[in-house]
Amino acid sequence: MDLRERLSARLKEAMRDKDTRRIGTLRLINAAIQDQDIALRTEGRTVGDAEVTAILAKMVKQRQESARAYEEGGRLELAQAELDEIGVIEEFLPKKLSDAEIDAAVDAAVAETGATSVRDMGKVMGVLKARYPGQIDFGAVGPMVKDRLT
């Protein structure tokens, strides 16, 4: 079962359960995917699972930033709503890598690209982003890559 089918099935379940928050989040996900489909229509293709994963990862990041802003502004109920949406979205993302797995992934990406200095950091990050969308916090991995290359 591909990601789109899982999303549709979960949306139907949420509708049956009358879970309005979940329904809203799943519809937002479907709308984001459909927007990307429309953008790719000129190329004659549709969004695949890897692209859906990237869309979901972007949605999680946006909601994390919004939740942080709401918390700083003292709007805890809105921050909680954003965190609830993150929980729904993360159900469809691959599991996060452990610290040991992240270290191994960074080492493999450095070796694969032949990176030797900080100038090559973009190449390494590109490989990691392509291979592990939604599985790694790239904000935290950037300094690790930089340390390895200095």
Residues in Cβ contact with 150 at an 8 Å cutoff, skipping those fewer than 6 apart? 117, 118
114: left (phi over 0), alpha (psi -120 to 50) or beta: left
Query: How confident is the model over 30-56, as a mean pLDDT?
Result: 88
| pLDDT on residue 116 | 84
Domain extents in the chain: 3-90, 99-149
- With beta carbons less than 8 A apart as the criterion, state whether 85 and 64 touch: no
Identity at 1, one-letter amino acid code: M
The Cα–Cα gap between 79 and 101 comes to: 31
- For helices 49-72 and 76-90, the axis angle rounded to 10 degrees is 160
Q: Which of 35-44, 99-108, 136-145 has the lowest mean pLDDT?
A: 136-145
pTM of the full predicted structure? 0.74
What would be the CATH architecture of the domain defined by 99-149? Orthogonal Bundle (1.10)
pLDDT band at 50 (very low <50, low <70, confident <90, very high): confident
**3-state SS, residue 39:** helix
Q: What CATH class does 3-90 carry? A: mainly alpha
pLDDT band at 1 (very low <50, low <70, confident <90, very high): low
Residue 88 token pair:
């729904």
